[in-house]
A = this chain, B = another copy of it.
Amino acid sequence: MKISVSLERFKKGLGAVEKIVASKSTLPVLNNVLIRAEDSQVVLSATDLEMGVNYYLGGKVEKPGSITVPGKVLGSFINNLSEDKITLEVKNNVLYATTEKSEASLNGIPAEEFPPIPEVKGKEVMFINSQTLKAAINQVGFAASFDESRPILTGVLFTLSGGALRMVATDSYRLAEKTVAVDTKEEASFIVPIKTIQELYRIITEPTDVKMVVSENQVMFVLPDMELISRVIEGEYPDYRQVVPKSFKTKAVLPTHELASTIKTASFFARENANNVKLTFRKGAVGIEAASSQLGSYKSQVGGDITGEDNEISFNARYLLDALGGVEGEEASIELVGKLSPGVIKTEGKKSDVMYIIMPLRS
């Protein structure tokens, strides 16, 4: 292999693939980045076996070929260079990198040992604006579980139906659902691992359209210069619709920011008590309380419009804060049945496209 590439593009490409590169994997080749030159295309790839990313560099290919080299060292080294061009040449599994002023050699591992990143030959289900997608990930992703004992909950459910994309995540204590209108007639349903979602969020740095391609076992997110390929989580996602209360007895409309700030203050007093914050709904205001026998106690209230019955409920303050962070407007609504039923949080006054459900705590 002998190629010449723009250092700026090379830095960008390494930035895109580097998070997937392991730093101390027991399988050494997973610590490496694959550099592959074919015809007039140079591709950087990295994989952690669950997902892989390909970044298309462009560049001048004098001699096709390939090599893998340690990703972290290559990244540190390349990012510190300030020249325009770099020439990369492979001889005997060593990568020689030459710039105007310096030359480096990096011991590599042959490309043949690099785990193949699958090609996804499925149907193109849709295009989505990258900023819309990032916002939706922000509103939903935090509710996914990191507990591998129920793998299905460590993913985000994507459901495409009737021109809308619905994204759902739950860790069984709380649930987030976001609906986005998309211009497609396709129908599909698949579960994307939360790690893939986080990586997708990270690599989207510019406004663009993101294409999704789905096959039976894989999903591919295609961006202008790169593609992120991931397995999907197999199995049946729980029928979460059944936990959504059909009606409510109390509804509070409250200023989102003030409520969040008060819950946050209360949470410092709730730390030793499973983050338990008690909300009391009375005409005109919601009272907020937290206490810990060791530390002390806190009490405050937030004024708002409370309709229906007086009510009270205890929530994990963190779940409430996460939900309020996802609410899009200046006013949030909280709908309650009673203190043993889940509470529903939405953006008030908006044909609601985001919904949070939080299970109550015993107070």
Contacts and interface: CB of A to CB of B under 8 A. Distances in A.
A299 interface: yes
A92 interface: no
Given A94-B296, A296-B94, A301-B101, A264 B106 contact: no
5 contacts: A80-B265, A94-B296, A102-B298, A105-B297, A105-B298
Given A77-B265, A80-B264, 5 more contacts: A70-B295, A73-B295, A94-B296, A101-B300, A102-B300
Contacts of A80: 261, 264-265, 268
Contacts of A94: 296
Contacts of A73: 268-269, 295-296
B77 A294 contact: no
A106 B264 CA distance: 17
Nearest to A82: B261
A189 interface: no
Nearest to A264: B80
Interface of A: 70, 73, 76-77, 80-82, 94-95, 101-107, 261-262, 264-265, 268-269, 294-301
A296 to B, nearest CB: 4
Contacts of A95: 296
A87 to B, nearest CB: 15
Contacts of A76: 268
B299 A102 contact: yes
A104 to B, nearest CB: 4
A128 B94 CA distance: 56
B300 A106 contact: no
Given A80-B261, A265-B81, A268-B73, A105 B296 contact: yes
B104 A299 contact: yes
A266 to B, nearest CB: 9
B295 A106 contact: yes
B107 A294 contact: yes
Contact of A296 (B106, B294, B298): B106
Contact of A102 (B70, B105, B107, B265): B265
Contacts of A103: 298-300
Nearest to A301: B101
A296 B107 contact: yes
B269 A77 contact: yes
A8 to B, nearest CB: 16
Nearest to A75: B268
Contacts of A102: 262, 265, 298-301
Contact of A104 (B81, B104, B264, B296): B296
Nearest to A269: B104
Contacts of A301: 101-102
A75 to B, nearest CB: 9
Contacts of A101: 262, 300-301
Sorted nearest first, the 10 A-B pairs with minimum C-beta distance are A102-B300, A106-B296, A105-B296, A104-B298, A76-B268, A80-B265, A77-B268, A105-B297, A107-B296, A80-B264
A91 to B, nearest CB: 12
